[in-house]
Structure 1
Amino acid sequence: MKNNLIHRVEIGREPPFSKTKNREQDNTQLKAGLKTLGM
């Protein structure tokens, strides 16, 4: 359900093959941000 929503939002904005890679980058940046906050 959640993935479908994400997919719909991203249609027309970027090719599907780069979606997963961008998602991984976002997760890495999020983890780095949380580490900076000390969480």
Structure 2
Amino acid sequence: MSPLWRTPGPVFQGFMDAGEILFQRPYLGVLLWSTVPHLVD
């Protein structure tokens, strides 16, 4: 993965939006954290 400062604007903005959403709704982060590993396996 490339460093964040090298990602294109829209992608970086998407990351920022996602971070803001997760910061406002921590349970979504917990949900993602518990779900994603199972999807990857």
Give the TM-score normalised by structure 2: 0.44
Give the TM-score normalised by structure 1: 0.46
Query: Using CA pairs below 8 Å that are at least 6 residues apart, which structure has the higher relative contact order?
Result: 2
